[in-house]
Structure 1
Amino acid sequence: MTTATPPGLGRTIALAHYASRALLEIVLARSGTTFNQSVALRAVSDNSGTVERAWLVDRLTGSLKIDESAAHETVAEMTDAKLLEPTAGRVSLTDSGRELFEGIRVGGNEIAARLYAGIPAEDLATAGRVLTLVTERADAELADV
């Protein structure tokens, strides 16, 4: 059995993504941080502050759908800016990196709180499950390309 996709659903999802990202970009601009850098900061922070450099590059290419050179460039920018400290194939958040990410995290959480206010938890859970499945399917198709 096939389910018909409601007309304009992809556009609606894209518009929600770009609108909320535009709000996050305002937070990022205050600190001169790029979106790619913010994703890298979260990835390292979510993994106790230290990760293999190769793992971070893979995480950036997989999450952001960018090529390896762009991911390496992002990590290099962050080490040059002293947000990440490279050591023997690994990178660790510096105190500056932790402080920057904390500000971004707080700003992002404030945006999310405003945008999701009043939406029932079960609706948010359903949206999360559906978008996770769509992402998994798209990633699977990209792997075959």
Structure 2
Amino acid sequence: MTTTAPTVNGRVVALAHYSARALLEGVLERHGATFQQSVALRVVAVAGGSVDREELVADVDSSLKTGDSAVRGVIEELVAAKLLEPDPAATRLRLTDAGRELWDRTSAESAEIGALLYAGIPAEDLAAAGRVLALVTERANAELGTG
């Protein structure tokens, strides 16, 4: 662990993000999924396994900032891979059994990584970091007009 803490800035946040994301992408790659696909699957899983297609597009775009077209492409990849399927009675998409299994497996593996990365960090430090990063995100989203 670093004994001298750097001042938080964009570079420090980016280094932490990309280091942790590289670990997550290793998990996802082993299961044949991409980071973008995992973000979309998470939205559906957290929503109880089914979500309105346009809400899914908006939620994923809000997270990834990639644009509606790119998000729709990711959703189509998930449908083609039979991880999501249209609900014939509505404009919703739902997890298939394979989608739920992939989400459960990759979530469990990424939770292990998270536990390792955050082990031993005092709760008050994590809370302070969370508050700062939430504020930075809020401000950046306001600048982007997505807040």
Could you say whether these structures have the same fold, taking a TM-score greater than 0.5 normalized by the shorter chain as the test? yes
Counterparts of 2:108 and 2:7 in 1: how far apart (Å)? 35
Counterparts of 1:115 and 1:85 in 2: how far apart (Å)? 34
What is the CA-CA distance between 1:8 and the residue it aligns to? Answer: 6.6
Per-residue Cα deviation, 1:5-48 (whole angstroms, up to 9, x for no partner): x8672111110000000000100000110101000111100010
Counterparts of 1:74 and 1:89 in 2: how far apart (Å)? 17
Which residue does the alignment assign to 1:12?
12
Q: Secondary structure at the match of 1:82?
A: coil
Length-normalised TM-score, structure 1: 0.92
Which residue does the alignment assign to 1:96?
98
Length-normalised TM-score, structure 2: 0.91
Per-residue Cα deviation, 1:67-112 (whole angstroms, up to 9, x for no partner): 1110000000001111001123110001100000001101110000
Counterparts of 2:33 and 2:61 in 1: how far apart (Å)? 18
Alignment RMSD: 1.3
Which residue does the alignment assign to 1:68?
68
Moved more, 12-21 or 135-144: 135-144
Which residue does the alignment assign to 2:40?
40
Which residue does the alignment assign to 1:3?
none
Which residue does the alignment assign to 2:121?
119
Q: What is the one-letter code of the residue matched to 1:136?
A: E
Counterparts of 1:127 and 1:7 in 2: how far apart (Å)? 12
How many residues are aligned here? 139
Return structure 1 stretches of 4+ with deviation > 4 angstroms: none
Q: Secondary structure at the match of 2:85?
A: strand
Counterparts of 2:105 and 2:40 in 1: how far apart (Å)? 14
Counterparts of 2:133 and 2:12 in 1: how far apart (Å)? 12
Q: What is the one-letter code of the residue matched to 1:58?
A: A
